[in-house]
Amino acid sequence: MADEATNIVLLGNQGDVIEVIVATGTAIAKGTLMQLSSSPQTCTATDGANQAFLGILEEEKTTTDGKTKVGLITHCLADLTCGAGETMVLGAPVMTGAAANEVNVADDSSVEGSNTQIVGLAQETVANNGTGAVLINVGHQY
């Protein structure tokens, strides 16, 4: 995969990591933006399907490691990639993008009446697949 989160600075209690269920035979790169995919508390990589953002994958998941649970960082500063044709504006909320690991500008019409897709607040202005810092605090209402 590409565009994983980089330069992650943990905040809170070492990033306030949560443990969630993941399919055992999947490979997912460290730093991947993860979303809720089904119940109970099962996650997959973000894919533009308007699922609830859960956090950033703490460590690499391989197809043969046998793991059924992974840790997700929920409180940090991280460099994320802005989607093509998008502009991430300083102080504005960003949401999961159409492409995996990319974020788009969040506005009232794109969030569909809820904040579940919100990833965090932009800490700088970047555009068109540029990379910029985002404050991530899962569960916080923006």
Q: What is the pLDDT of residue 114?
A: 56
Taking Cα atoms as reference points, which of 79, 78, 134 lies closest to residue 106? 134
Whose tokens are 């997700």? That residue is 72
Write down the pLDDT at residue 115: 53
pLDDT digits (tens, 9 = 90+) for 42-75: 899 988 767 789 999 999 999 999 999 999 999 9
Q: Which two tokens stand for residue 82?
A: 């802005």
Is 70 exceeded by the pLDDT of residue 105? Answer: yes
Between 56 and 116, the more confident residue is 56
- 101 compared with 40, residue with greater pLDDT: 101
CA–CA gap between residue 32 and residue 80 (Å, rounded): 10
24 or 125: which carries more pLDDT confidence?
Answer: 125
Amino acid 40: pLDDT: 81
Give the start-to-end residue ranges of the domains of the chain: 15-73, 76-137
Pairwise CA distance, residues 122 & 10, whole Å: 16
Over range 17-30, report the average pLDDT.
94
Q: Is the pLDDT of residue 108 over 70?
A: no
pLDDT grade, residue 139 (50/70/90)? confident
**What pLDDT is recorded for position 112?**
57
Give me the architecture of the 15-73 domain, per CATH. Answer: Beta Barrel (2.40)
